[in-house]
Structures are given as structure tokens and as C-alpha cells.
Amino acid sequence: MGRYISGLLGALDAAKPDGVRPRPLFLPSAGARGLRRLVKALPFAYPLADAVRAAVLRRERPTVYHETNHAAPSFHGPVVLTVHDLSTVLHPGTQEPARARYFANGLRRAASATRVIVPTRAIADEVAQHLRVPRDRIRVIHHGVDARFAPADLPRKSFVLYAGDANPRKGLPTLYAALPEGVELKLAGPDHTYVSDDELVALYRGAAVLVLPSLYEGFGFPLAEAMACGTPCIASDDPALVEVSGGAALHFPRGDAGALRLLLRRVLSDSALRDELARKGLERARAFRWDRSAALHVEVYREATR
């Protein structure tokens, strides 16, 4: 979520499109983040947050309100809603119950949004099917990849990298079961070794292969970022990941540790295959640019005002 918001805002600020003046209304200050964690533990936290945000919108009266995180508060005007995935609707057991209930209820109101932005065609299909949003209101806009995620002329090491959290839908047990004996696995993410973006870039550049064994994804930032760093990639056959890779990664059936183990052994033992995946990944990653994503968002904002 943070990747999306910061990337989009940065690109909009750089482009300065005519007639569009983004105003981030709800970005928390550094001091407020700790307080927000405490408030979220309260039973009425989510309704309270909605009421506060609705009051801010009544005061500020934006021409278009873009809700970047699934559930928009009450607003009497055009609403552009970004739906990153339907995990709270389709896989509620993988999340904290109060959060799952809140966002699932918010998503079920998505049909009332003026426009719905999704990061992949896979999620567009789910939004149309499960949320009953008309197709003519859905816009597929891929995320971008920050310029810092780029290759370096350095020798790669032999470790396997996983980047992301430990949510049950990320499929980590499949990766643990598939890892060949004697192969080092490095985990980077909020539930593992927390790393800065610069440290994450170094891990991408050093890894022999990135593995993303997710059972469900909406986009898969680690896959796009790793490809941009020239890292060979293996991912599950989740539809969003297959779409993002565009044929530049190897895929295995979700949850199939045996199939993943075979791919890992193949990639780790075949330098020519690693070089091919690196080349294809770099080419595919060029499709994920924040300037293009921002320009398409601006088109949606203009549609919403009409």
C-alpha cells in the first residue's frame, strides 16, 4: 500500500498535470503512527476512522476523492476507488477479523464508486464477478517500480530470496517444504528481517533467484521489483503473478512444493537459464513505470468529473 501511494504521489508531483492538484488528506505523520496502532486495537476503531475521514472530506470538498485503500468513507461527490485485491472477501481467514470485516463491507460498496481502479486484469475480473461493478467503470492500471530497483554489475550469490510478509496467503510453507537441502533462504519483510529499500535492492541484486509462492495476490510488487533488478524469478501460478511476469518468470501450481523444488533445482543449476530469466525480467519490468501509471490515473480523475 505504501509503495502504491508514495509512487503515485511522487509521479503526480513530477508531472504536474494540467488541472489536477493532488492533496493528500490522510497521510499520517510520524508521531501519529504509534497512536494509530493503539487506536486500531479498539473495537470501534474503523467506524471512528470513517467518521473522521468523512468530516475531513466535508470540510475540504475535493472535486474528486480518490480512496487508495479499498473502503471509502461517505462523500457526496465523484469517488475513484482503488481495489488492490479481494483478500478480505475471498480469504477473510487470513487476516485479523475486525480488519477483514471492515474492508469486506467497504468493498461491497464498491459498485457505488464512480470509477474503480485495479492493478491487474485478474483483479478486474474478480471485482466484476464478486462486487458486481459494471465493467465500463473498472480501469486496469499497473503499478510502477521505483527507479532505485535496477541491476548492478556485481556477481550474484547462491541464496534464494523471499520478499514480503508472513500472511498465510503468501504460501511460505510451500517454499519451506520445497527448499533443496543445503540451499540458503533469506527472508525480507515486516515479519522477518525488516530491511530498508536500499537493503532490499542489494538483496534483489545478490540473490540467485526470487521465489514468490503466493496463494493469492493482487499485483506482487516483489516480483516486479526483482525483475527490474535483473533477478531470476519463480512465482506461483496465481493469475495476477502470471499477468505481471508476462512470461518472464517460471511458474508452478499454487501449493505444490514438489513442482517448486524441481524449478528451484533447475534454476540454481543452470546459469544459462538464470541469464535468460534475468534478460526477460528486465525487459518486462520496463512496462511498470510510475509516470505512465500516474498519467492513466489522471485520465480516470477526469472521467470521474464528467
Instruction: Identify any residues that bridge with 236 across adjacent strands, giving them in sequence order.
Output: 252
In a domain, 149, yes or no: no
Pair 266, 249 in one domain: yes
Q: How far apart are CA 262 and CA 254, in angstroms?
A: 14
What CA–CA distance (Å, rounded) separates 36 from 119? Answer: 27
Q: Which amino acid is at 137?
A: R
**Nearest by Cα to 305 from 115, 67, 30:** 115
Closest listed residue to residue 211, CA positions, set 148, 168, 263 = 263
Task: State the 10-residue block means of pLDDT for the chain, 306 residues long.
Answer: 92 93 76 53 75 91 93 91 95 88 88 96 97 96 97 94 96 97 95 89 97 98 98 98 98 98 98 98 98 97 94
The per-residue pLDDT for 71 is: 87
Looking at the structure, tell me whether residues 101 and 52 fall in a common domain: yes
Phi, psi of 80 (to 5 degrees): -105, 125
On whether both 134 and 25 belong to a single domain, the answer is: yes
So what's the pLDDT on residue 40?
A: 58
226 DSSP β-pair partners:
none
Considering the domain boundaries, does residue 7 fall inside one? yes
Burial class (CB in 10 A: 0-12, 13-18, 19+), 218: buried
- Per-residue pLDDT at 38: 53
Instruction: Indicate if 30 and 11 belong to the same structural domain.
Output: yes
Whether 153 maps to a domain, the answer reads no
Domain that holds residue 215: 160-285
Same domain, 280 and 294: no
Task: Tell me how far apart the alpha carbons of residues 165 and 130 are, in angstroms, rounded to a whole number.
Answer: 26
pTM for this model (two decimals): 0.92
Q: Determine the Cα–Cα distance for residues 57 and 74; give it in Å rounded to an integer.
A: 8
Q: Whose CA is closest to 197, among 163, 241, 227?
A: 163
Q: Are the C-beta atoms of 71 and 102 separated by less than 8 Å?
A: yes
- H/E run at residue 233: strand 233-236
165 and 102 fall within a common domain: no
Q: Bridge-partner residues for 89, per DSSP?
A: none
Question: Cα separation of 223 and 219, whole Å?
Answer: 9
What pLDDT does 68 receive? 94
